[in-house]
Amino acid sequence: MLAFTLRRAVQAIGVMFAVGIIAFSMFRFAGDPINQIVSLDTPAAEREAVRKSLGLDDPVPVQFIRYFGDAAQFKFGVSYQFRQPVSALLMERLPATLELAICATVFAMVCGILMGVYSALRRDTVLAKLFQAVSLVGISLPTFLIGILLIYLFAVTLGWLPSFGRGEVVKLGWWTTGLLTLSGLKALIMPSITLGLFQMTLIMRLVRAEMLEVLRTDYIRFARARGLTTRAIHFGHALKNTLIPVITVAGLQFGSVIAFSIITETVFQWPGMGLLFVQAVQNVDIPIMAAYLLMVSLIFVTINLVVDILYTVVDPRLRATVGRAT
Amino acid sequence: MTEPILSVRNLQVEFASRRGTLRAIDGVSFDIAKGEVLGVVGESGAGKSVTGLAVIGLIDPPGRIAGGEIHLAGLRIDNLPPEEMRRIRGKRIGMIFQDPLTSLNPLYRVGDQIVETIRTHLNLSETAARRRAIDLLAEVGIPAPEKRIDGYPHEFSGGMRQRVVIALAICAEPELIIADEPTTALDVSVQAQIISLIKRLGRDHGTAVMLVTHDMGVIAETSDRVAVMYAGRVAEIGPVQDVVKNPLHPYAKGLMGAIPTLAGDDKRLMQIPGSMPRLSAIPRGCSFNPRCERAFDRCRVDRPEPLPRGTQSVACHLYDDVPAESAA
């Protein structure tokens, strides 16, 4: 088990190294960074001085090792547009994005699993068919459109919820949270739904399909032949078997929730990393783009690692194979 | 004779399909006495398993029990409300399925599955149920049960898993066990062990057993009586040695003739021409008539009813008017 975790961790470091190469090469291929820093009429001698002070005249491998070493310590250089350390900018934005992503995922998991189980167990009811129809909408409508529709309905027409921003936030050390104020919570509702709707429909359809599959298996039939209560069969035996693929998908989707939050954050002007990234793209702010790339990959890789470990917790058969493989 | 544990009368099971209603079971009647093992044989699709599922009340839509009665020790059970039927399942009727590899939930320890079943039916504490589970595992012949109880199903071999399944089926001391092809998925050597286990449990606890299989060897070895099913009907039923030695129904004769023996290796095995009709195309009269060498006009028109003949009961027009003594 420990060996398995270690091996996965080494693989994760390999992936991060590869991403680091890509992030670093962005600096080389997106034009001369000096042009981004200095103004148009800066004399050539001054440009060279800046180049030297930033170490940009060193050989490429030296620069790469320096970049990677810095990145490993969460130092991503200075933003071209804000003239501030990128890590400070990211750290300032991280709580907003994480809070949004976690709320969206919780919303997607809770609603998705409940709706999926319901529509599998009562698949001929009107409500189950309604869920199926809604899930089709959720899968096909693009995120930004859902966001704008929600804003139109709940912010513009009904005026119940704010149309943009995070509301009032409370500082807890370096972390800022909107979960402790009423305006913060209200501001969180629409972006979470917008961001989580796609995942929710995905999880709902997955749970429904898996649950129907599991209910047909022999061990469920045998559980019924043993006279177990319907509740024990559905929520004890069937649901646990259903959740294995759901863990995978939900875990991997958490990564894409963070990645997709770019759109949601733009629609709702949510002060998170996604919005920062969009602004960075518009201004060719490569240190931020590269750092964002590294951050998102780190989150993805970490989640994958956690999902792999979670598998073995849920499924005893994997514990055995993992033990044998190591 | 005392009241039978299980009494099935004129059972009919139908499945609604797009091309109309299919009758999978059509007028099946039989009894099983306390401690008796009834073997049910027939080709695939003869309705053996469906009969077992009907008895335990697990016919799922689109299927339904369309007629007849099922009595368990005098209590009519075919029309009980679902919740009352659920309490009977596992407690008064135990069931063993064909494939032990897929009958157990892979995510739960076998002990948890047994304890859960025991506590569903018997009012026992967690520790008492666990002690009982260990005893059960020992009874079905699992070595070191106090250790194995915490194992997961994948840590057991096929034969051992079938023993766990049997332990689950008998954990509330049922009066009747329905074993649906309990040995089909197992090695031959393991088959014999499982069969003798089922036989021993039936004898020790006085449990009635309905043993569904297509293996005549298994039936001959274990059963007291045997019912030969064909196309949803009972063709012949009687004590196992009589039916094996002296089958009356032409179909039963064909089945017995198709059993290879160790001694008679010089003879070709008998074969019944053709195959069983599909449920949507069961012929008029006797459903076996297109394949029967001895069929005559009446067989194509009238459906034969089961009639007693000596110790056996047979549904065949050949025996309608022949005196019992001259039947060969």
Q: What mean pLDDT is predicted for residues B227-254?
A: 87
pLDDT digits (tens, 9 = 90+) for A161-206: 888 888 777 887 778 887 778 888 888 888 898 888 888 898 999 9
Distance between CA atoms of residues B106 and A219, nearest Å: 9
Band (B319; pLDDT cuts 50, 70, 90):
confident
pLDDT digits (tens, 9 = 90+) for A281-313: 888 788 888 888 888 888 888 888 888 887 777
Segment 226-245 of chain A within 8 Å of chain B by CB:
226-230, 232, 236-237, 240-241
A316 and B106 within 8 Å at the Cβ level: the answer is yes
The C-alpha torsion from A206 through A209 and A214 to A217, rounded to 10°, is -150
Listed range (A30-44, A197-211, B227-241) with the worst mean pLDDT: A30-44
Name the residue facing B117 among A226, A240, A320 (closest C-beta): A226
| B326 has a pLDDT exceeding 60 | no
B242: three-class secondary structure by DSSP: helix
Distance between CA atoms of residues A258 and A97, nearest Å: 7
B102 and A219 within 8 Å at the Cβ level: the answer is yes
Q: What mean pLDDT is predicted for residues B149-176?
A: 89
pLDDT for the residue A41:
79
Listed range (A28-42, A53-67, A239-253, B157-171) with the worst mean pLDDT: A28-42
User: Angle, to 10 degrees, between the axis of helix A86-121 and the axis of helix A286-314?
Assistant: 40
Q: What mean pLDDT is predicted for residues B78-101?
A: 88
Q: Does pTM surpass 0.95?
A: no
A228 contacts in chain B (CB < 8 Å): 86, 90, 116-117, 120
B105 and A218 within 8 Å at the Cβ level: the answer is no
pLDDT for the residue A326:
40
Q: Name the residue type at position A187.
A: A
pLDDT for the residue B328:
41
Q: Contact B249/B321 with Cβ under 8 angstroms? A: no
CA distance A233 to chain B (A): 11
pLDDT for the residue B262:
67
pLDDT for the residue B40:
92
CATH number of A87-318: 1.10.3720.10
Sheet holding B93-96, edge to edge: B93-96, B176-180, B208-212, B37-41, B225-230, B233-239, B312-314, B307-309
pLDDT digits (tens, 9 = 90+) for B261-317: 666 666 677 777 778 888 878 888 888 888 888 888 888 888 888 888 888 888 888
Q: What angle do CA A128, B57, B131 make, to 5 degrees?
A: 100
B89 contacts in chain A (CB < 8 Å): 224-227
DSSP assignment string, A247-305 = HHHHHHHHHHHHHHHHHHHHHTT--SHHHHHHHHHHTT-HHHHHHHHHHHHHHHHHHHH
pLDDT for the residue B265:
61
Q: What mean pLDDT is predicted for residues B61-90?
A: 88
Listed range (A214-228, B70-84, B251-265) with the worst mean pLDDT: B251-265
Domain range summary for chain A, segments of one domain joined by +: 13-73, 87-318
Across chain A, what does the average pLDDT equal?
83
Task: Tell me which chain B residue has its CA closest to the CA of residue A311.
Answer: B107
Name the residue facing A229 among B120, B152, B155 (closest C-beta): B120
pLDDT for the residue B210:
92
Across chain B, what does the average pLDDT equal?
85
Strand B208-212 to strand B176-180: parallel, antiparallel, or no bridges (unpaired)? Answer: parallel
CA distance A303 to chain B (A): 23
A174: three-class secondary structure by DSSP: coil
Tell me the β-bridge partners of A175. Answer: A172
Place of tokens 């032949």: A225
Q: Would you mind telling me the total number of residues written for chain B in this entry?
A: 328
Name the residue facing B117 among A228, A230, A316 (closest C-beta): A228
Could you tell me which residues of chain B have a Cβ less than 8 Å from any Cβ in chain A?
56, 58, 86-91, 94-95, 97, 99, 102-109, 116-117, 120-121, 152, 154-155, 165, 168-169
Q: What mean pLDDT is predicted for residues B247-252?
A: 86
User: Angle, to 10 degrees, between the axis of helix A239-267 and the axis of helix A273-282?
Assistant: 40
Place of tokens 């972006």: A191
B154 and A316 within 8 Å at the Cβ level: the answer is yes
pLDDT for the residue A322:
53
- Give percent of chain A above pLDDT 90: 5
Calculate the alpha carbon distances from A128 to A197, A305, B160 in Å.
Answer: 17, 35, 41
Calculate the alpha carbon distances from A37 to A68, A284, A289 in Å.
Answer: 21, 11, 15
Sheet holding B20-32, edge to edge: B20-32, B6-17, B63-72, B75-76
What is the complex's ipTM, to 2 decimals?
Answer: 0.83
What end-to-end distance do the CA atoms of chain A give, in Å? 8
Kind and range of the H or E run holding A23: helix A2-29
Does A192 contact B at CB distance below 8 Å?
Answer: no
- Give percent of chain A above pLDDT 70: 95
B90 and A222 within 8 Å at the Cβ level: the answer is no
Q: Name the residue type at position B244.
A: V
Distance between CA atoms of residues B270 and B59, nearest Å: 35
Handedness of CA B231, B236, B238, B243 (dihedral sign): negative
pLDDT digits (tens, 9 = 90+) for B184-202: 878 888 888 888 888 888 8
pLDDT for the residue A111:
92
pLDDT for the residue B134:
92
DSSP B281: G
Distance between CA atoms of residues B177 and B202, nearest Å: 8
pLDDT for the residue A307:
80
Q: What mean pLDDT is predicted for residues B36-50?
A: 87
Name the residue facing B95 among A225, A240, A316 (closest C-beta): A225
B107 contacts in chain A (CB < 8 Å): 240-241, 314-316
| A160 has a pLDDT exceeding 60 | yes
Listed range (A149-153, A205-209, B262-266) with the worst mean pLDDT: B262-266
Count each helix (H run) and each strand (E run) in chain A, helices first: 14, 2
pLDDT for the residue A88:
86
List the single best residue of B58, B101, B107, B155 to mutate versus A (max A Cβ within 10 A).
B107
A10 or A38, which is more confident?
A: A10
Strand B20-32 to strand B208-212: parallel, antiparallel, or no bridges (unpaired)? Answer: unpaired
Q: What mean pLDDT is predicted for residues B139-165?
A: 89
Q: Name the residue type at position B96.
A: I
CB neighbour list of residue A229: distance below 8 Å, 6 or more residues apart? B86, B120
pLDDT for the residue A161:
86
Rg (CA), chain B: 21
Distance between CA atoms of residues B249 and B314, nearest Å: 6
The C-alpha torsion from B275 through B281 and B287 to B290, rounded to 10°, is -60
Rg (CA), chain A: 24
pLDDT for the residue B264:
60
